[in-house]
Amino acid sequence: MSPASTGASTSVGAVASVPAAPPPVSESRMSPGGPGFRRMSLALFLAGVATFALLYSTQALLPLISGDFAVSASDASWTVSAATGGLALFVLPMSALSERFGRRTVMTVSLAVAVTVGLLVPFAPSLGALVALRALQGAALAGLPASATAYLAEEVTPRALVTAIGLFVAGNSVGGMSGRVITGWVAQEWGWRVAVGVIGLIAVACAVAFRLLLPAPEHFRPGSLRPRVLAGTVRGHLADPLLRRLFAIGALFMTVFGGVYTVIGYRLTEAPFSLPQGIAGSVFLVYLVGTVSASGAGRLVGRLGRRGALY
């Protein structure tokens, strides 16, 4: 919509001072090589590192947690399940909050709460307290995936969107790897409490850098908190057969993925392997494969299309 040319003279020979029309929305969004794109990419990469380092920080440490609290493997695994379950339950409410209060605000508050809880986790006096803290941490972390992709969709040009999301996912994989590998080696020397404390400090650094680097949104328009609209959106998604299949595929993949990585620590630290905690945790270096593939996903989709890239 063209702005009004206020102050323009109607006299003969006068020059009307009409302000230039604003650039199209697509041209004002961030793109590779443009201002803010590199800062935005690094900020969300670091947010992904912090999110998944915190989310899975206890997974490689389950044998040590079992021994410390004298509980079974299934009981100790709740320290992982509580965090991922909290994230899953609160993704939709957090997405609604981001519609009202802004993507950057929700991401910032989510990280702040999650890292604060992360600094309390090493002092958990019992398994029940540890599980409760982890559930709270997962719920707080839900604000990141709920808001990051929406921020990118609003602030990045459509052509660069897949690449930007790929970099965010690459940060997720680096965080998931480091949250397990670092804790494994630290715990081998100083125990699991020091290990999760180190991850908490790393997450604090990532959260501060994220807030300083992420550009302020220019295209966000706040909406209202309407639970009925959110419920209607969810029903609409579930009514779509294609989306239901995609949701089922994601759920199955994450079930297998989480289950294998939850039990593998016990398998590797017990006979016949009897590996040290650091070596057992290093199995998660396989995440580097996902880091490389995620960062190159944009080019792959550009060549093969979304369906071809999935295959």
Q: Is the pLDDT of residue 26 over 60?
A: no
What is the rounded CA–CA span in Å between residue 309 and residue 268? 34
Q: Where are the domains of the chain?
A: 30-215+226-310
pTM of whole model > 0.85?
no
Q: The tokens of 300 are what?
A: 């792959």
- pLDDT of the residue at 305: 73
**Averaged pLDDT for residues 199-212:** 95
- pLDDT of the residue at 189: 92
**Averaged pLDDT for residues 51-73:** 93
SS (H, E, C) the chain: CCCCCCCCCCCCCCCCCCCCCCCCHHHHCECCCCCCHHHHHHHHHHHHHHHHHHHCCCHHHHHHHHHHHCCCHHHHCHHHHHHHHHHHHHHHHHHHHHHHHCHHHHHHHHHHHHHHHHHHHHHCCCHHHHHHHHHHHHHHHCHHHHHHHHHHHHHECHHHHHHHHHHHHHHHHHHHHHHHHHHHHHHHHHCHHHHHHHHHHHHHHHHHHHHHHCCCCCCCCCCCCCHHHHHHHHHHHHHCHHHHHHHHHHHHHHHHHHHHHHHHHHHHHCCCCCCCHHHHHHHHHHHHHHHHHHHCHHHHHHHHHHHHHHC
Q: Is the pLDDT of residue 140 over 80?
A: yes
**Averaged pLDDT for residues 144-173:** 84
pLDDT digits (tens, 9 = 90+) for 240-264: 888 888 888 888 888 887 778 778 8
pLDDT digits (tens, 9 = 90+) for 90-106: 988 888 888 888 889 99
- pLDDT of the residue at 117: 96
Residue of 289 and 121 predicted with greater confidence? 121
With a CB cutoff of 8 Å and minimum separation 6, the contacts of 214 are 39, 40, 43, 44, 47, 104, 107
Q: The tokens of 212 are what?
A: 């300083």
Q: Is the pLDDT of residue 27 over 70?
A: no
Q: Is the pLDDT of residue 229 over 70?
A: no
In which band, very low, low, confident or very high, does the pLDDT at 226 lie, cut at 50, 70 and 90? low
The CATH label, of 3.40.50.20, 3.90.1300.10, 1.20.1250.20, 3.40.50.300, for the domain at 30-215+226-310 is 1.20.1250.20
In which band, very low, low, confident or very high, does the pLDDT at 10 lie, cut at 50, 70 and 90? very low
Which of 217, 71, 186 has the alpha carbon at shortest distance from 131? 71
In which band, very low, low, confident or very high, does the pLDDT at 23 lie, cut at 50, 70 and 90? very low
- pLDDT of the residue at 11: 35
**Averaged pLDDT for residues 283-304:** 72
With a CB cutoff of 8 Å and minimum separation 6, the contacts of 42 are 209, 213
Q: Is the pLDDT of residue 136 over 60?
A: yes
How distant, in Å, are the alpha carbons of 70, 124, 135, 155, 174 from that of 128? 13, 8, 11, 42, 29
> What count of other Cβ atoms lies within 10 Å of the Cβ of residue 132?
14
In which band, very low, low, confident or very high, does the pLDDT at 270 lie, cut at 50, 70 and 90? confident
- pLDDT of the residue at 20: 38
How distant, in Å, are the alpha carbons of 134, 156, 178, 282 from that of 112? 15, 25, 20, 28
- pLDDT of the residue at 286: 79
pLDDT mean across residues, the chain: 82
Residue of 95 and 130 predicted with greater confidence? 130
Residue of 29 and 307 predicted with greater confidence? 29
